[in-house]
Amino acid sequence: MRENFTYGSMRGRWRRSDGPLERDTRPKGEKRFGLTRPTGSPRQCPTLQRENVVSYLPKSEQASWRRRLQRAYDRPTYTEAKEALTKLHRELEDRNQSAAASLAEGLEETLTLHKLGVYELLGASFKTTNCLESTNALVEERCAKVDAWKTSNQRHRWLATALLDIEPRLRRVKGHRHLPKLEAALRRALNIKDQPRRMEEAA
């Protein structure tokens, strides 16, 4: 039985961890190419976080809380957004413990764009995972029936070829002219020096 990614008729839905078989909740592109994420790194964005929180509340209150949470996330700086969300969290603790816990879980990760100082510039596209999920789905369309992978290098070539084929069909993200600012912010946050790039340009 092939164990590269999945098992039998449940292909694409289950994977083996260190022990028992567990449900595979990774996006399709991650399943197909065996990609993994760092342990403890939640796949979360402000939009999903907001919807998770309001799902614990009565339907009559969901619309108002959805607006309040979105206004908090739309604050331009990390300090302002964190302060507004912390205030809402305290209020939720008295109203609904499950909703409060949902808001607290992964909160810092949902403020990543604020921390990098690019939320106002790129938040319209990057505050959701839509662009990533769309790309993963298009990759899956092109590679879904390929099972006989021989090496990881082969998978990488297929992935690169699929992405090159998809590229002309992709729309530019809103604020795409500010992507260099995102790159610079990530380099600062991760303490990545610019020396390799300068060497490539010189070559």
10-residue averages of pLDDT along the chain (203 residues): 34 41 48 47 75 95 96 95 97 95 93 95 90 90 85 91 93 93 94 66 51
In this structure, are 107 and 58 located in the same domain?
yes
Torsion of CA 16, 141, 49, 185, to 10 degrees: 100
In this structure, are 83 and 50 located in the same domain?
yes
Query: Which of 70, 45, 24, 38 lies closest to 132 in space, CA to CA?
Result: 45
Tell whether 122 is covered by a domain.
no
- Provide the residue range defining the domain that includes 141: 8-32+129-169
Tens digits of per-residue pLDDT, 37-83? 444 444 578 988 999 999 999 999 999 999 999 999 999 999 999 99
Q: Which residues contact 30 (CB under 8 A, 6 or more apart)?
A: 36, 37, 136
Give how many domains the chain has, as a whole number. Answer: 2
Tell whether 72 is covered by a domain.
yes
pTM of the model: 0.67
Tell whether 151 is covered by a domain.
yes
Tell whether 19 is covered by a domain.
yes
